[in-house]
């Protein structure tokens, strides 16, 4: 059973990997099976690699090729301008993912379930960082713009009260009461979660769910979690998923929005918005500078 607690489900935002996946299908599969004429059979009738390749090219080929051309141009420009992406640059970006998921472990679990690898993410982050560095000279953000964004989005920068909790999820109340007794007898919460919880997303981390705020969890779970003191363990709590034993491990109290503390985040947001607009214009200018021959367009 894969359990998703937040009403707004946690999903990895990997839109930037979509073209990479298409590329791996079209190119990686093609070359990886270059010695095989037959890629599948149905009742003994063959499907050839040529049929597969032609269909994939017809469906996605031009889009993927455009992406490859763009990537090649970006690499040339980055090299021309001596732009080098360090491991520290990549780690800073990864930290943003970790924060959005509550912890690095939670992010890694979601990543594993998505089918992508950390290397996939790092590769695409490297490309994105290069693009941002190349666009930086073309984008300016004023103090007035930052202040205006803050004033219009104050609620976004105010911190709700949040709790960090772990839980053990089981199917029956009887099982939940049995685990509660073991906890009262001094057994380890994390180990009991690993051994008993049906929540596959959190059990290997000892039931850790990271931080969450109001509205992130189903009502019964949230009400119980927010009523607990740090270190306190709940009685069994019934929800649509089963019976939970909840342990609160940390609390972040609510805070009003603070302009100075929010400036860097706002600047990143505004840069991202402007970069999306500027990217197409910038890339089109480079297309005109480079000699590009697209042989797929003639097919």
- Domain-terminating residue out of 220, 237, 252: 252
What's CA 11's distance to the chain center, in Å?
6
Mean pLDDT, range 251-259, rounded to an integer: 91
Residue 139 DSSP symbol: -
Whether pTM > 0.85 for this model: the answer is: no
Q: Determine, yes or no, domain membership for 41.
A: yes
Does position 250 have pLDDT exceeding 50, yes or no? yes
Give dist(CA 40, CA 55) in Å, integer: 14
Helix (H, G, I), strand (E, B) or coil at 146: helix
Q: Determine, yes or no, domain membership for 179.
A: yes
**Mode of pairing for the β-strands spanning 38-42 and 162-170:** unpaired
Closest C-alpha among 254, 250, 255, 244 to residue 163:
250
Taking the alpha carbons at both ends of the chain, their separation in whole angstroms is 47
Q: Determine, yes or no, domain membership for 124.
A: no
Helix (H, G, I), strand (E, B) or coil at 164: strand
Which structural domain, as residue segments, surrounds residue 62? 15-70
- Domain-terminating residue out of 41, 70, 99: 70
- Domain-terminating residue out of 35, 70, 105: 70
How many angstroms separate the Cα of 89 from the Cα of each of 83, 127, 130, 242, 263? Answer: 12, 11, 10, 42, 20
pLDDT at position 120 is 86
Q: Determine, yes or no, domain membership for 93.
A: no
Which CATH number covers residue 190?
3.10.50.40
Q: What is the CA radius of gyration of the chain?
A: 25
pLDDT at position 213 is 87
Phi, psi at 111, each rounded to 5°: -65, -45
pLDDT in tens, 99-115: 777 678 778 877 887 77
CA dihedral of residues 167, 172, 178, 180 (deg, nearest 10): 30
Q: Determine, yes or no, domain membership for 195.
A: yes
Percentage of the chain modeled with pLDDT above 70 = 87
Give dist(CA 271, CA 254) in Å, integer: 28
Higher pLDDT, residue 164 or 43: 164
Q: Determine, yes or no, domain membership for 274.
A: no
Task: Name, in order, each residue with C-beta under 8 angstroms of 290's C-beta and a sequence gap of 6 or more.
Answer: 73, 76
pLDDT in tens, 200-247: 888 988 999 988 888 889 999 999 999 999 999 999 999 999 999 999
Total of domains in the chain: 2
Helix (H) or strand (E) holding 242: strand 242-252
Q: Determine, yes or no, domain membership for 106.
A: no
Q: Determine, yes or no, domain membership for 188.
A: yes
Q: Are 106 and 205 in contact (CB under 8 A)?
A: yes
Residue with tokens 């772990």: 166
Give dist(CA 66, CA 53) in Å, integer: 17
Phi, psi at 229, each rounded to 5°: -85, 160
∠185-2-17 over CA atoms, to 5°? 130
pLDDT in tens, 277-296: 999 999 999 999 999 888 87
Q: Structure tokens of 117?
A: 């690898």
Give dist(CA 265, CA 272) in Å, integer: 11
């Amino acid at each position: 059973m894969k359990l998703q607690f937040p009403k707004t489900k946690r999903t990895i935002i990997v839109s930037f990997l979509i073209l990479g996946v298409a590329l791996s299908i079209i190119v990686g599969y093609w070359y990886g099976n270059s010695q095989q004429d037959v890629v599948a059979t149905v009742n003994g009738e063959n499907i050839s690699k040529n049929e597969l390749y032609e269909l994939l090219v017809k469906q996605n080929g031009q889009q993927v090729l455009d992406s490859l051309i763009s990537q090649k141009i970006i690499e040339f420009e980055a090299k021309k301008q001596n732009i080098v992406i360090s491991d520290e640059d990549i780690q800073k970006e990864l930290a943003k993912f970790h924060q959005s998921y509550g912890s690095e472990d939670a992010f890694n679990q979601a990543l594993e379930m998505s089918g992508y690898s950390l290397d996939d993410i790092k590769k695409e982050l490297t490309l994105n960082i290069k693009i941002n560095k190349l666009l930086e000279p073309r984008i300016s953000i004023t103090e007035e713009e930052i202040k205006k964004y803050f004033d219009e989005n104050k609620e976004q920068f105010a911190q709700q009260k949040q709790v960090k909790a772990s839980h053990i999820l089981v199917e029956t109340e009887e099982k939940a009461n049995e685990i509660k007794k073991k906890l009262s007898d001094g057994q380890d919460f994390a180990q009991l979660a690993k051994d008993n919880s049906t929540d596959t997303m959190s059990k290997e981390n000892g039931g850790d769910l990271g931080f969450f705020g109001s509205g992130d969890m189903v009502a019964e779970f949230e009400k119980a979690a927010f009523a607990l003191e740090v270190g306190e363990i709940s009685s069994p709590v019934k929800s649509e998923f089963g019976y939970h034993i909840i342990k609160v491990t940390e609390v972040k109290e609510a805070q009003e929005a603070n302009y100075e503390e929010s400036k860097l985040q706002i600047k990143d947001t505004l840069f991202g918005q402007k970069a999306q607009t500027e990217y197409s214009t910038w890339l089109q200018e480079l297309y005109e500078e480079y000699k590009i021959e697209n042989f797929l367009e003639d097919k």
